[in-house]
Amino acid sequence: MRDYFLFVKLQKHWQPKSIRQALAAASMFFVKLLRHEDWTLFSQIRTKDHDTLPAVLTRQQVHDLLAHIRLRRYRTPLKLIYCCGLRLSECLGLTIHDIKGRENKLFIRHSKGHQDRVVPLASAMYQELRRYWAFHRHPLLLFPNAGRGDNNSPASLAQRMHTATGPMPCSSLQRLVIVARKQLNLPAASVHSLRHSFATHLLEAGAHLHTIQKLLGHKQITSTMVYLHLTYQSTKDALQLMDQLCSGLPR
């Protein structure tokens, strides 16, 4: 077990959170179930989270990434994640009852922390969601799983999506973004980077930090404050203010 945890840390380069999850599972199995109470390994391993900033794309990079996604059934949910700052699971779990287009509202139910929230939905995005749903007309899901079959036949694809029993798997979009990112030579980014980019671009445009906190569904403002370190506009505004302060001082 000691060699295993050294392997995932030094060779697999697992993040501290992943190591703690594996540690908890191994401890439960060997100590609680197999009764190896004398094993002290699990209490000796310590993992500390790194103070790393999330990957953020520029607005042009977001545009290039979405334009690179050729198939609409993949591009539409990615676009919604960026336009509304959603988590991947929140986006793919949406139902037709969560869309209130005439009120320009999108309901996010049972998100992280078992909390619901409402985010604004742009009219253009609402119209795109309507066109997307009109293709498959699933009775409940907005992004149903396409499953396996002939993707060259729109009728066959629409039928499979219409009768799907579950939403599109998260791994489909995750793999697609990784491939597109490498082909475009973009910085290390993932689907979740679109959510980070949404918050950063809103902050650069002048949105209040507390407004962004509510849109993202953060319980603590400290979680939202990380975006203050990522905005070019904040640094630029601070520099302008500092220039103004210095200009009035005696020489």
Annotated catalytic residue 218: yes
CATH number for 59-229 (one of 1.10.443.10, 3.20.20.70, 1.10.287.180, 3.40.50.2000): it is 1.10.443.10
Q: Please name which of 81, 71, 49, 111 lies closest in space to residue 190, comparing C-alpha atoms.
A: 81
pLDDT digits (tens, 9 = 90+) for 90-145: 999 999 999 998 889 999 988 876 788 999 999 999 999 999 999 999 999 999 99
The DSSP line for 4-24 is HHHHHHHTS---HHHHHHHHH
Whether the Cβ atoms of residue 222 and residue 205 lie closer than 8 Å to each other: no
pLDDT of residue 101: 84
**Count of CB atoms within 10 A of residue 247's CB?**
7
- Which one of the listed residues 17, 72, 112, 214 is annotated catalytic? 112
> What residues form DSSP beta bridges with 107?
118
Active-site annotation holds for 210: no
**What is the mean pLDDT of the segment spanning 7-35?**
90
Please provide residue 58's backbone torsions phi and psi, each rounded to the nearest 5 degrees: -75, 170
Structure tokens belonging to residue 154: 């729109």
**Alpha carbon 12 to chain centroid, angstroms:** 23
Give the torsion through C-alpha atoms of 207, 213, 217, 220, to 10 deg: 180
Q: pLDDT tens digits for 139-186?
A: 999 999 998 888 888 999 999 999 999 999 999 999 999 999 999 999
What average pLDDT does the segment 15-40 reach?
90
| Local confidence band at 251 (pLDDT 50, 70, 90 cut-offs) | very low
DSSP code, position 40: -
Q: Read off the pTM.
A: 0.75
46 flagged as catalytic: no
Looking at residue 145, its pLDDT comes to: 95
What are 28-84's pLDDT values in tens digits? 999 999 999 888 888 888 887 765 667 889 899 999 999 999 999 999 999 999 999
Active site residue 112: yes
Domain residue spans in the chain? Answer: 2-44, 59-229
Instruction: Give the confidence band of 246 by pLDDT, cuts at 50, 70, 90.
Output: low
Establish whether 195 is a catalytic residue: yes
Q: Pick the residue with more confidence: 248 or 124?
A: 124
Is 192 a catalytic site residue?
yes
